[in-house]
Amino acid sequence: MPSLSASGKLSLAGGVALTLGGVAGAIEPLMAAGHGVLVGLALAWVATVPIPRRMRRERLEFSWWTLQGARRPDEPLTIRVALRNPTKSTLVLGAPRLSLSPGLKHARWKGTRIELAPESLSTFDIEVLPGHAGRHVLHGAWMTVSGPLGLAWAPLYFPNPLVLEVAPRTLGAALHRGFAKPDPEARAGRSTRRHGEGAEIRELREHQPGDPFHRIAWKASARRGKLLVRETEDDAQTTRVLVVDVGPSMRGDPRGGSKLDYAIELVAQASRGARLGGDRLGFVGFDARVTLNITPGSSPAHLAAIVAGAIDQRSLVDEDLTDLDDEQLDHVVARYFREQEGVEVRLGPDARARLAKMALTASGKDPQMQLPVRASDEDGRILRAFCRARGILLPLRYDTTGLSRAAGLAAALEAATHKAREPRTIIVVSDLDPFETTDRLRSAFANARAGRHRLTVVAPMGVDFAPKPEGIAGDAVRDALLKDDELRVQGLRTGLAKVGVPLYSARRRDPFAHWLARASAPRVAKAHK
């Protein structure tokens, strides 16, 4: 429905004042003037009501596109908007209000009015600010059109989804969206950094029968009171695998400050380092199960696909991972069509099939609709794929017991070491929530360590990843939660050290090179009993 403009509100106030003044003073001309103002205002409001319908009938056109190529988080992105007025009258429109996915901010257009001459085309620019890397959607724009005399404004909504792909800060270039295929080197079993007689120390371990005499580390053995042997590496190609937790505890901040956003930046930095150094890189994402497994490779397309795959982990929609049943999913999609397309879908026995058909029509040839989705039926798969394509975030299922999380981590470590012909450097990025002890984790890490793989756990922790406090007691509550989390991680650190796996707390400014140096540093296996 139309709303009064500033001048309309002044006219309303003036008409009411004249009417009341005329009544109080029994001045009929004053009362007549007040009535005239109010009647004129009412007629202007009524005349404004059919304008949106007329605009749709006469096809007032709205289109937009992006101007920049490379896009990174926290960098303004300019959107060019074009409006075509097919009518024979001048139209006055208000500044647009954008309907955005949660990871975008709208830098409001500086102008307050847009005047369209009859049968003309007008363009102007607006800015949006992406908060994180990934897929963002501008669903549409709200605008208002002025009625007669500018006394009332009628709302107009232009549903015109525009997809923005934003690369991590490290890359700042368009994402490679092809499916990550194994490299020829990976299929042929190309050797990686081999442990043997090289100059770089891989780790210190206990002496075993058959170890060469010259590899005994005498000084370290004297300090430890037992024989220790140097494991060394040569300068051949190395293999690294990033195992990233993509569960609900790694999320929570749609503006780019979540633990998962930090993990994605680490993946981008690792991909860039592997490209420059000629090394092989793999990626495994996990929640209650392995969500993505890209075997190690070194080609530029492979490394770019790893970054794209890590970013896509932001939008998990699978039925077994989300805390959303079929009825709730129908409500989510139906609400989207009601708010974005103005189409009301009555939910009932056959509503799901209608919603799926509408989703296929609305998405067109969006490649996101072709990606695999786990669902119990085809309609459910289409609706979940549509949510991913349109940036509709679905809540993930949180495991308070830790059973499924432990199984997911174990499966991820097994995937990271599967068919490895050489020791690999595996960096796990996870806050290990909800684990309080390592009872359910030790066997998974111990099995990976049995293959002489180097494991390091990086836990995004601390105030950098804590939500901003709300209310008077917000700071105190946050400090208490941070302290509890720190104590929990300290206990996990001690337990993992017993199986030779270090756990480090990460801050937002810590780069991947820092953790790679930690992972490559010499360490003593089974230092804690």
pLDDT in tens, 236-278: 568 999 999 999 999 988 778 899 999 999 999 999 999 988 8
Span 461-465, average pLDDT: 89
* Structural tokens at position 447: 């099995």
List helix spans (H) across 49-80: 51-58
* Structural tokens at position 149: 């005399």
The whole-angstrom separation of Cα 409 and Cα 399 is: 13
- Report whether pLDDT(28) > 80: yes
Strand (E) or helix (H) holding 122: strand 120-130
Sign of the CA dihedral with 469 first, then 132, 390, and 114 last: positive
Is the pTM higher than 0.75? The answer reads yes
Q: pLDDT-derived band of residue 414, with 50, 70 and 90 as boundaries? A: very high
CATH number of 237-316+397-520: 3.40.50.410
| pLDDT number for residue 146 | 92
Write down the domain spans for the chain.
3-49, 57-166, 195-235, 237-316+397-520, 326-389
Tell me, yes or no, if the two domains 57-166 and 237-316+397-520 fold the same way: no
pLDDT in tens, 264-316: 999 999 999 999 888 999 999 999 999 999 999 999 999 999 999 999 999 99
| pLDDT number for residue 303 | 94
pLDDT in tens, 165-205: 899 988 754 454 544 444 544 443 344 444 444 445 667 87
* Structural tokens at position 8: 């309309």
Q: pLDDT-derived band of residue 108, with 50, 70 and 90 as boundaries? A: low
- Backbone angle region of 469, left / alpha / beta, with phi > 0 → left and psi within -120 to 50 → alpha: beta
| pLDDT number for residue 422 | 85
Contact present, 355 and 372 (Cβ < 8 Å): no
pLDDT in tens, 467-491: 776 766 777 888 888 899 999 999 9
The whole-angstrom separation of Cα 454 and Cα 523 is: 10
* Identity of residue 200: E
Would you state the CATH architecture of domain 57-166?
Answer: Sandwich (2.60)
* Structural tokens at position 172: 């700042």
The whole-angstrom separation of Cα 517 and Cα 511 is: 10
Cα Rg, the chain, nearest whole Å:
30
pLDDT in tens, 353-373: 999 999 999 998 898 999 899
Q: Got the DSSP string for 100-162?
A: E-TTEEEE--S-SEEEE-TTEEEEEEEEEEE-SSEEEEEEEEEEEEE-GGG-EEEEEEEEEEE
| pLDDT number for residue 307 | 95
Strand (E) or helix (H) holding 105: strand 104-107
